[in-house]
Structure 1
């Protein structure tokens, strides 16, 4: 039996969702919360399998509640159920730890399917959300490609060795360059790729195949 916690500041909305869920044979609402603070408290106390979370709630927003619950217990699956279709809400909810993002305007079947899907450990998004995520991914890919074209051949060599964990001295010895020159290349690479830290650089290199640079 899938245990569900409802978090929404509208009693009539909770009542409708609760009736729908309790009419199923494989899931049950074990508690309700009418604000974000209560949602966090009950999530940690009752440890439900799934939480249905509204974004706009008093005392603490659903977004903050989602983040705090996920940080305390990332095993619980959170479904954001909202009226907000904007991509900024979608991205922030997923970054906060939501496993699903649904619009209240969708059919009740979608919510029931989302509950079962996230309980299995999978993600569930409304159709247009998938499109938005793909568009964002493609935009980042294009931006990465554009940034890579700014690097010289030597800078790409240095990027590869930096990503593999070589020190400035080691890279200098391999490429027959001074440490000062390597440091200069590194600074230019970070600037051109708009990166701030070594982990950022490594992540960029992995995503763009530079760990296999020969």
Structure 2
């Protein structure tokens, strides 16, 4: 039987090394790549075509929630297991809304990691016990009823909003995304219009409140 292939996305080198060591103990599971931010994870997913991504949430340039949403949209055959230190219901909800197939806390044991990886590889959804009992009912209710302004901005606009919150200048954003400074300014103006927020401080507060940006 072919191994389950996965990549590890976390901006901490020692954390990635620890996860690699744990995963390599699991029979029939193979680590094929590592990424230190969400943008790099997308590149690796496109080039390596793994079955699964172990994804942290708080990463620079593009966080794990946005990367998960992109993977879910562009590579629906690739499944994402969020591995985070955050047990807060809102983070779990945002992860599932972004398209994650599972959520695991970083202090989980090897056996739970194995259960999660194999369940998700089979096409199932996995939530670790520490968060699942608080989340499922609320998640289903909110998913059926909630419509937020974030649903009405484009992936590019979400990406630019994250970079604005990260303190990047218009020129920095243009260089990172390979677009013109004028295009960045246009996207920023559209963001402010759609969210009805008209200053950078307001955008920062909104992005943090909605879980689009996660502070370490």
Shift of 1:128: 3.5
Aligned to 1:208: none
Aligned to 1:23: 25
Aligned to 2:10: 8
Aligned to 1:124: 126
Aligned to 1:104: 106
Give per-residue Cα distances to partners, 1:36-95, cap 9 Å, x unaligned: 110111111111011000000011000000000110011111000001111111011001
Shift of 1:23: 2.3
TM-score (norm 1): 0.62
Report the number of matched residues: 141
**Match status 1:34 vs 2:71:** no
Give per-residue Cα distances to partners, 1:15-50, cap 9 Å, x unaligned: 111111112221010000011110111111111011
Q: CA distance change for structure 1 residues 122 and 139 in 2, over 3 Å: closer, same or farther?
A: closer
Cα separation, 1, equivalents of 2:141 and 2:134: 11
Aligned to 1:51: 53
Greater relative contact order (Cα < 8 A, sep 6+): 2
Q: CA distance change for structure 1 residues 106 and 45 in 2, over 3 Å: closer, same or farther?
A: same
Shift of 1:134: 3.9
Aligned to 1:76: 78
Of 59-68 and 23-32, the range deviating more from structure 2 = 23-32
Shift of 1:138: 8.4
Give per-residue Cα distances to partners, 1:127-163, cap 9 Å, x unaligned: 13321234416867xx9xxxxxxxxxxxxxxxxxxxx
1:6 is paired with a residue of what secondary structure? strand
Aligned to 2:181: none
Q: Structure 1 unaligned runs (5+)?
A: 144-214
Kept in 2, the 8 Å contact 1:44–1:69? The answer is no
